[in-house]
Amino acid sequence: MRIFTTNSIFVFGAALFLLLSYQFISAQTWTNPPASPPSSNATAPLNVGSTAQTKNGDLTVNGRLNVNNDLTANDVVDVNSSLGANTINIFATGPTIRYVDSDNRDYWTHVNDSNFYVLIDRDQDGDWDSPHPLTIRANGNSDNDSVQINKVWGREYCDWNGNDCFSASGMPNMIQSGVATVPKGTGTGSRTVNFPRAFPSTPVVTFTPRWSGVTGDEGTSWWITNVSSTGFQVNYHGPDSPDYHYGQDNVMWIAVYSN
């Protein structure tokens, strides 16, 4: 006759309790499938397959994300500087970024041969046009760096250090030029030349006479006086003899103002 000890009864009871508990929990968590197979299958996890996949939540990649084809972003792309250098690197020969405006002209930024360009599709044919709105040329020497812009709008223009500024309205008055006609004659004479627009102060004036119809072999002397913000006086002296005279000359002048 087999006799059960206290320990045997305890082990048997514990096993029976665990078995019944498992069956109860399984019955409580069981749910019927939402549809007959194969409908409403569970979404496949991200894998190496060629089928397109969509993840509804955020995706964090702690390493490098390599994209071997087009990268499309339908919303804002943030570069979080708290994680390191806030830089986007584009490695290519002549890298280009295109800004597609769905209802207007497209723009590009483009780098090639040490030049930086802003490009525009003026006729909206899908390609950029010339001349370019902005070209920045850098040849390794800061003295040779240059900027080419079709048109500039601004309120003030200053030197490299932000000093010696002048307003946009005063810019046309910085350099002026013209031609003054001196009538035919002999001896000494003068003519007052007025600037088309007054300078803020006295400019530097230089001139070149262009002779036409000088007779004889004696020359004519030229000099300027009375330079002011509004004009100057051109003076001339030709031979006193009636056999010699200066012809009707055009005096080409240029005036430059610098504050």
Single-letter residue type at 4: F
Is there a single domain that holds both residue 238 and residue 204?
A: yes
Asked whether residue 81 is assigned to any structural domain, the reply reads no
Model confidence pLDDT, tens digit, residues 160-188: 777 767 776 666 667 888 888 876 666 67
Asked whether residue 117 is assigned to any structural domain, the reply reads yes
Asked whether residue 135 is assigned to any structural domain, the reply reads yes
How many percent of the chain have pLDDT more than 90? 11
Q: Cis peptide before 38, with omega less than 30 degrees from 0?
A: yes
pLDDT at 102: 82
Indicate if the pLDDT at residue 126 is higher than 90. no
Is there a single domain that holds both residue 200 and residue 246?
A: yes
Provide DSSP, 90-145.
--SSS-EEEE--TTS--EEEEEETTEEEEEE-TT-SSS--SS-SEEEE--S-GGG-
Backbone phi and psi for residue 23, each to the nearest 5 degrees, phi listed first: -65, -35
133-161 average pLDDT score: 77
Asked whether residue 228 is assigned to any structural domain, the reply reads yes
Cross-strand bridge partners of residue 116? 111, 136
pLDDT at 92: 84
Asked whether residue 250 is assigned to any structural domain, the reply reads yes
> In total, how many domains does the chain have?
2
pLDDT at 150: 75
- 127 versus 259: the higher-pLDDT residue is 127
Is there a single domain that holds both residue 213 and residue 250?
A: yes
pLDDT, the chain, mean: 76
Asked whether residue 39 is assigned to any structural domain, the reply reads no
Helix (H/G/I), strand (E/B), else coil: 221: strand
Domain at 236, CATH number: 2.60.40.2080
Backbone phi and psi for residue 231, each to the nearest 5 degrees, phi listed first: 170, -165
How many percent of the chain have pLDDT more than 70? 68
187: left (phi over 0), alpha (psi -120 to 50) or beta: left
Is there a single domain that holds both residue 134 and residue 178?
A: no
Is there a single domain that holds both residue 115 and residue 180?
A: no
Asked whether residue 201 is assigned to any structural domain, the reply reads yes
Contact of 156 with 251, CB cutoff 8 Å? no
Q: Which domain holds residue 121?
A: 96-149
Is there a single domain that holds both residue 244 and residue 181?
A: yes
Its pTM stands at 0.46
Model confidence pLDDT, tens digit, residues 70-94: 888 887 777 776 555 667 778 888 8
Asked whether residue 56 is assigned to any structural domain, the reply reads no
Is there a single domain that holds both residue 220 and residue 177?
A: yes
